[in-house]
């Protein structure tokens, strides 16, 4: 961790470099919710030159969870003899008939876990109930769910199942890169996800779509360096996928984790909130693990459900509008009374705009 | 009206709204809630009450007994009130180990002895197993106001220096690390009585307001000040005393240390010309040795708190919205 004064000096020199490489106005999408929050928390938007526009992308795992998926979790939690375990961020996301938090207030059993494997301990300590772990997240958290499943199978645990809602990042990026309305020049790619999948799965962004890409970490310096790198690639007209997070991300990623994912899951077409069905963009349990599949154990099918009236989380996630452009933002949708998940999640861009820029009208600029 | 959620107990915006709603049900003349940590009564008396329901009951740096005394007497101290008397109510669950109960009572007693506070009234109830989670304590503390000028939100004025007495978020981070099973050898709750730190300030001019940054943390207190006194507040992240373990827990769990609870750390608004004297006074006490000026109140952007980030940008500090971590104090 650098000294703070030192950090400010380094940021200034990166800003000078950005000035040098910025030869035209550029639009950069930060894909990951952790990036979005770090950008707001460090005030990076207030430091950038006018020619750099940042768009928040679909990389907040809770936010992209489809309404039908939230409804399925709430229905499961309300079921007799079921304890629904999931990550804390999910608890307040409103479904069509309330959130998990509201279900819990009315007597449903909802357990908040910070890692998937805690569901195994729950299954051991509450043997007279069915523990359902709702697996949320991208390639980052899916391996933890895979480990849980492997352990559960080897220990022959009977009262545990997994509702896999995991999603994959590259397929949705292809969708965004090919959208002519968006005009994205470059992608700030998520460091966490890349730690697992490496950089090869992103190559198409540069090769097929000519997008400048930087895989960056989450500290303010990492992010600023990523933006400079994207500006440089654009200025030089040489788009590529550049790995700046080399201290953590290897080119080939984490091969063991990839093998684990392949053993436990298989890709499937799943619905993303507001974006719709994206081919091969989700993970469901592989046949060897079907005994642990909550979909079949509880007979769950995901029907298409309309989002709450007026909620434009989908457009926010796809970068089509910024949060303050949503008619509900800051009016009927606030962190206390959220309508859509982007306002609930600590990684959601609506919540970040609301919290860190005074509902989008910060006197210091957003 | 809906159902109460855990967010209503978070100390943030939802809690504030609920308290205001409750106060409004009392008829004019029979409810005079001051939205301060303690009420100042005619005759120079101060009184406060607080319920404690921390889980786990014991944690590095303290336990529910110590917390139950510190929490109440600190609410007095931050308005310049010397704690003198205490009433305590216990709600215990059937089956609680008596020896354990007395461990907590001894820690409570030792804080009282240190401060010269006398326990003068009490109540004990035992609830059937399952109807309470082991032990809840409520304490009501009373004392004498010794501040030579009034301390309160309304006194916060543009130009005031904002000072904190130590690293923020230690209590919240300890409870979070226990709850999520994150092992940190060094980290202890800051749970401590603030009166010994604050007493010398009661004789100084220029103290406008003080608060202990409990539920909702430093960020929430500053938002309440900015809104309540209609001033702007600008603070510098670089200047806020930080604890490495608190930052680590916050990074792992996605918390912002600005919103993590403290139980022995206070923030002060001090007339700028007196800031240096106050800072020296705080720094001369062991629990205030890393006290620092972190910013100032401004005339500009009333009602808003702005943070100059470590990276050099600016952002708004908003009041904590919902449940961060329930049952921490």
DSSP for B250-316? HHHHT--GGGS--SS-EEEEE-GGGHHHHHHHHHTSGGGTT-EEEEEEESSSTT-EEEE-TTS-EEE
- State yes or no: pLDDT of B160 exceeds 90: yes
pLDDT, residue A307, reads 82
- Mean pLDDT of the B120-133 span: 96
| CB contact at 8 A, B38 and B81 | yes
Band of residue B90 on the pLDDT scale cut at 50, 70, 90: very high
Of residues A283, A292, A255, A259, the one with CA closest to residue A154: A292
Residues β-bridged to residue A293: A162
Query: Which three-class secondary structure state does DSSP give residue A200?
Result: helix
Give the best residue of B239, B311, B319 to mutate against chain A (max A CB count within 10 A). B311
The vertex-B253 CA angle with B55 and A216, nearest 5°, equals 175
Sheet of A82-87, strand order: A109-113, A82-87, A130-135, A160-164
Where are chain B's structural domains? 39-145, 153-317
Q: What is the pLDDT of residues A284-326, one digit of tens each?
A: 999 999 999 999 999 999 988 888 888 898 889 888 899 999 9
Which of A47, A356, A363 is closest, CB to CB, to B301?
Answer: A363
pLDDT digits (tens, 9 = 90+) for B223-245: 999 999 999 999 999 999 999 99
Q: According to the model, what pLDDT value does residue B183 have?
A: 83
- Average pLDDT in the B181-198 region? 92
Q: Which of B61-65, B236-240, B321-325 has the lowest mean pLDDT?
A: B321-325
Q: How many separate domains does chain A show? A: 2
Listed residue (A137, A55, A68) closest to A277, CA to CA: A68
User: What pLDDT, on the 0 to 100 scale, is given for residue B186?
Assistant: 84
Average pLDDT over residues B48-65: 96
pLDDT band at A2 (very low <50, low <70, confident <90, very high): very low
Q: Which of A11, A356, A365 lies closest to B312 in CB terms?
A: A11
**How many other CB atoms are there within 10 angstroms of residue B62's CB atom?**
23
- A91 falls within a domain: yes
Coil/strand/helix, residue B196:
helix
- Which residues, listed in sequence order, are joined to residue B63 by a DSSP beta bridge? B58
Contacts 24+ apart (CB under 8 A), B114-119: B114/B193, B115/B69, B115/B73, B115/B83, B115/B193, B115/B195, B115/B196, B116/B84, B117/B69, B117/B73, B117/B83, B117/B84, B117/B85, B117/B86, B117/B141, B118/B84, B118/B85, B118/B86, B119/B85, B119/B86, B119/B87, B119/B88
pLDDT reading at A1 higher than 50: no
Domain boundary among A310, A325, A340: A310
pLDDT value of residue A82? 97
List the 14-53 stretch of A: residues with Cβ below 8 A of B: 40-47
| Mean pLDDT in residue range A118-131 | 96
Rounded Cα–Cα distance for residues A24 and B31 (Å): 63
Give the lowest-confidence range in A123-137, A295-309, B56-70, B90-104.
Answer: A295-309
CA distances from A246 to A108, A194, A234, A251, A252 (A): 44, 10, 21, 8, 11
A305, A317: one domain: no
pLDDT beyond 70 at A225: yes
Of B166, B107, B173, which is closest to residue B139 (Cα–Cα)? B107
ipTM for this model: 0.75
Q: Are residues A202 and A320 in the same domain?
A: no
More confident residue, A11 or B185: A11
Average pLDDT for B122-151:
97
Neighbours of B144 (CB within 10 A): 15
Superfamily for B39-145?
PurM-like, N-terminal domain (3.30.1330.10)
For the stretch B276-301, pLDDT in tens is 999 999 999 999 999 999 999 999 99
Distance CA B263, CA B116 (A): 20
Nearest CA to B37 among B74, B66, B12, B63? Answer: B74
Cβ-based neighbours of B236, under 8 Å, separated by 6 or more: B294, B295, B307, B308
Same domain? For A197 and A339 the reply is no
Q: What single string gives the DSSP state of each residue in A117-172? A: THHHHHHHH-TTSEEEEEE-SSTTTHHHHHHHHHHHHHTT-SSEEEEE--B-HHHH
The answer to whether residue A328 is domain-embedded is yes
Q: Could you tell me which chain B residue has the CA closest to the CA of A334?
A: B321
Question: If DSSP codes are grouped into helix, strand and coil, which group holds residue B192?
Answer: coil
- Minimal CA separation from A352 to chain B, in Å: 10
Residue from the list A42, A357, A362 with its beta carbon closest to the beta carbon of B309: A42
- If you average pLDDT over residues A323-348, what whole number do you get? 89
**Per-residue pLDDT at A287:** 96
Kindly determine whether residue B309 and residue A43, on different chains, have CB atoms separated by under 8 Å.
yes
Angle at A60 between CA A54 and CA A64, to 5 degrees: 115
Tell me what the mean pLDDT of segment A326-353 comes to.
89
Two structure tokens written together for B121: 């009234």
∠ CA(B2), CA(B3), CA(B6), 5° rounding?
Answer: 130
B314–A365: do the CB atoms touch at under 8 Å? yes
Mean of the per-residue pLDDT values for chain B? 93
A106 contact residues in B (CB cutoff 8 A)? 3
- pLDDT, residue A292, reads 98
A221 to chain B: nearest residue by CA?
A: B311
**Contact between B190 and B265 (Cβ < 8 Å):** yes
Residues A324 and A293 in one domain: no
Contact A44 B313 (CB under 8 A): yes
For residues A259-278, average pLDDT: 94
Eight-class DSSP state of A34? H
Q: Is A12 on the interface with B (CB under 8 A)?
A: yes
Sign, CA dihedral A97-A101-A102-A106, equals positive
Q: Which residues does chain A have within 8 Å of residue B14's beta carbon, measured at their own beta carbons?
A: 336
The more confidently predicted of residues A259 and A181 is A259
* Residue among A81, A31, A33 nearest A205 (CA): A31
Average pLDDT rounded to a whole number, residues B71-77:
98
Give the dihedral sign, CA A286/A291/A292/A294: positive
B123 burial (CB, 10 Å; 0-12 / 13-18 / 19+) is: exposed
- Give the strand pairing for B58-59 and B62-63: antiparallel
Together in a domain, A324 and A270: no
**Whether residue B250 has pLDDT greater than 50:** yes
Least confident interval from A105-109, A305-309, B161-165? A305-309
CA–CA gap between residue A353 and residue A343 (Å, rounded)? 9
B128–chain A nearest CA distance, Å: 20
CA angle B169, A118, A99 (to 5 degrees): 75
Angle, vertex CA B214, rays to CA B272 and CA B162, nearest 5:
10
Domain assignment present for A366: no
Which helix (H) or strand (E) segment holds residue B249: the answer is helix B244-253
| CA pair distance B93, B135, nearest whole angstrom | 6
Is residue A127 domain-shared with residue A184, that is, in the same domain?
yes
In terms of domains, do A204 and A240 share one? yes
Instruction: Tell which of A5, A114, A353 to mutate to test the B interface (max B CBs under 10 Å).
Output: A114
**Rg from Cα positions in chain B:** 19
What is the average per-residue pLDDT within B75-102? 98
pLDDT at A239: 97
Instruction: For residue B80, give how far its alpha carbon lies from the nearest alpha carbon of chain A (Å).
Output: 33
Q: Which of B55, B63, B64 is nearest to B88 (CA)?
A: B64
Beta-carbon separation of B180 and A11 below 8 A: no
Tell me how far apart the alpha carbons of residues A277 and A279 are, in angstroms, rounded to a whole number.
6
In degrees and rounded to multiples of 5, residue A170 shows phi and psi of -55, -40
Residues 6+ apart with CB under 8 A from A52: A18, A22, A25, A26, A28, A227, A231
Residues 6+ apart with CB under 8 A from A356: A40, A41, A43, A362, A366, B315, B316, B318
Q: Do A333 and A306 share a structural domain?
A: no
C-alpha A314, offset from chain centre: 13
Q: What is the reported pLDDT for A3?
A: 52
Residues A360/A329, Cβ–Cβ less than 8 Å = yes
Report how far residue A170's alpha carbon sits from residue A176's, in angstroms, rounded to the nearest whole number: 10
Top pLDDT among B10 and A161 is at A161
Greater model confidence, A165 or A245: A165
Interface touch B310/A336, C-beta < 8 Å: no
| 3-class SS letters over A261-296 | HHHHEEEEEEEECCCEEEEEEEEEECHHHHHHEHHH
Of A94 and B283, more confident: B283
In the block, tokens 């995901």 appear at A302
Mean pLDDT of chain A: 92
Same domain, A83 and A162: yes
Region A34-51: mean pLDDT is 93
- Cross-chain residue pair A11–B321, CB shorter than 8 Å: no
Q: Note whether A345 and A259 are same-domain residues.
A: no
Per-residue confidence at B24, pLDDT binned at 50, 70, 90? Answer: confident
B274/B93 Cα distance (integer angstroms): 50
| A57/A70 same-domain check | yes
A105 and B5 in contact by Cβ < 8 A? yes
What is the predicted pLDDT for the residue at B319? Answer: 80
Over residues B262-276, mean pLDDT: 98
Together in a domain, A243 and A340 = no
**A133-137, A244-248, A300-304, range with greatest mean pLDDT:** A133-137
Architecture of domain B153-317: Alpha-Beta Complex (3.90)
| Contacting residues of A for B249, CB less than 8 Å apart | none
Q: Is residue A361 situated within a structural domain?
A: no
- Asked if the structure places residue A362 within a domain, the reply is no
Asked if B300 and B188 touch (Cβ cutoff 8 Å), the reply is: no
Q: What's the confidence (pLDDT) of residue B324?
A: 65
What does the pLDDT read at residue B154? 94
| Residue range of the domain that includes A349 | 313-356
């Amino acid at each position: 961790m650098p000294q703070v004064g030192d950090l400010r000096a380094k940021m200034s020199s990166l800003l000078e470099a950005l000035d040098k490489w910025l030869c035209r106005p550029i639009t950069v999408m930060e894909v990951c919710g952790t990036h979005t929050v770090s950008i707001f928390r460090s005030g990076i938007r207030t430091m950038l030159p006018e020619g750099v526009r940042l768009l928040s992308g679909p990389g907040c795992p809770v936010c992209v969870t489809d309404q039908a998926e939230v409804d399925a979790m709430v229905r499961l939690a309300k079921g007799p003899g079921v304890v629904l375990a999931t990550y804390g961020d999910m608890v307040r996301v409103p479904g069509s008939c309330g959130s998990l938090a509201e279900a819990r207030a009315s007597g449903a059993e909802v357990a908040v876990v910070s890692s998937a494997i805690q569901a195994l301990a729950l299954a051991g300590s509450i043997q007279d109930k069915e523990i359902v772990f709702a697996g949320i997240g991208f390639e980052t958290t899916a391996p933890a769910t895979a480990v849980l499943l492997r352990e559960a199978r080897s220990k022959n645990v009977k009262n545990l199942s997994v509702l896999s809602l995991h999603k994959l990042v590259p397929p949705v990026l292809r969708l965004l890169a090919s959208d002519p309305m968006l005009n994205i020049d470059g992608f700030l790619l998520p460091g966490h996800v890349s730690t697992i999948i490496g950089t090869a799965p992103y190559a198409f962004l540069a090769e097929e779509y000519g997008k400048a890409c930087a895989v960056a970490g989450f500290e303010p310096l990492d992010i600023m360096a990523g933006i400079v790198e994207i500006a440089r690639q654009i200025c030089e007209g040489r788009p590529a996928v550049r790995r700046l997070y080399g201290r953590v991300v290897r080119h080939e990623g984490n091969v063991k984790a990839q093998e684990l994912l392949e053993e436990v899951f298989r890709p499937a077409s799943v619905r993303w909130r507001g974006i719709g069905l994206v081919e091969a963009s989700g993970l469901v349990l592989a046949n060897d693990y079907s005994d642990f599949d909550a979909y079949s154990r509880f007979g769950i099918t995901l029907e298409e459900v309309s989002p709450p009236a007026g909620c434009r989380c989908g457009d926010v996630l796809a970068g089509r509008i910024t949060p303050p452009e949503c008619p509900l933002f800051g009016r009927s949708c606030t962190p206390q009374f959220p309508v859509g998940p982007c306002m609930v999640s600590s990684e959601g861009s609506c919540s970040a705009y609301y919290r860190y820029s005074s509902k989008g009208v910060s006197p210091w600029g957003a | 009206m809906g159902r109460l959620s855990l967010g209503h107990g978070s100390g943030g915006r939802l809690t504030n709204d609920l308290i205001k709603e409750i106060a409004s049900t009392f008829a004019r003349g029979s409810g005079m809630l001051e939205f301060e940590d303690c009420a100042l009564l005619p005759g120079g008396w101060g009184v406060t009450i607080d319920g404690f329901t921390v889980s786990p009951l014991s944690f590095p740096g303290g336990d529910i007994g110590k917390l139950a005394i510190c929490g109440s007497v600190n609410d007095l101290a931050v308005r310049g009130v010397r704690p003198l008397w205490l009433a305590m109510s216990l709600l215990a669950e059937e089956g609680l180990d008596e020896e354990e109960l007395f461990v907590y009572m001894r820690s409570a007693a030792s804080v009282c002895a240190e401060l010269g506070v006398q326990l003068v009234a009490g109540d004990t109830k035992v609830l059937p197993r399952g109807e309470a989670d082991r032990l809840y304590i409520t304490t009501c503390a009373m004392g004498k106001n010794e501040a030579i000028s009034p301390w309160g939100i309304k006194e916060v004025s543009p130009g005031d220096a904002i000072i904190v007495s130590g690293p923020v978020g230690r209590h919240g981070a300890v409870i979070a690390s226990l709850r999520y099973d994150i092992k940190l050898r060094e980290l202890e709750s800051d749970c401590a009585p603030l009166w010994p730190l604050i007493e010398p300030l009661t004789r100084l001019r220029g103290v406008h307001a003080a608060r202990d940054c409990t539920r909702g943390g430093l960020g929430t207190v500053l938002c309440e000040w900015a809104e309540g006194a209609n001033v702007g507040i600008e603070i510098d992240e670089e200047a806020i005393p930080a604890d490495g373990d608190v930052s680590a827990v916050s990074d792992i769990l996605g918390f912002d240390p600005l919103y993590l609870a403290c139980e022995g750390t206070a923030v002060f608004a001090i007339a700028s010309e007196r800031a240096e004297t106050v800072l020296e006074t705080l720094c001369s006490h062991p629990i205030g040795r890393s006290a620092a000026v972190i910013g100032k109140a401004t005339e500009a952007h009333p009602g808003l708190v702005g943070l100059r980030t470590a990276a050099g940008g600016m952002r708004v500090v908003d009041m904590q919205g919902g449940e961060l971590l329930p049952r921490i104090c």
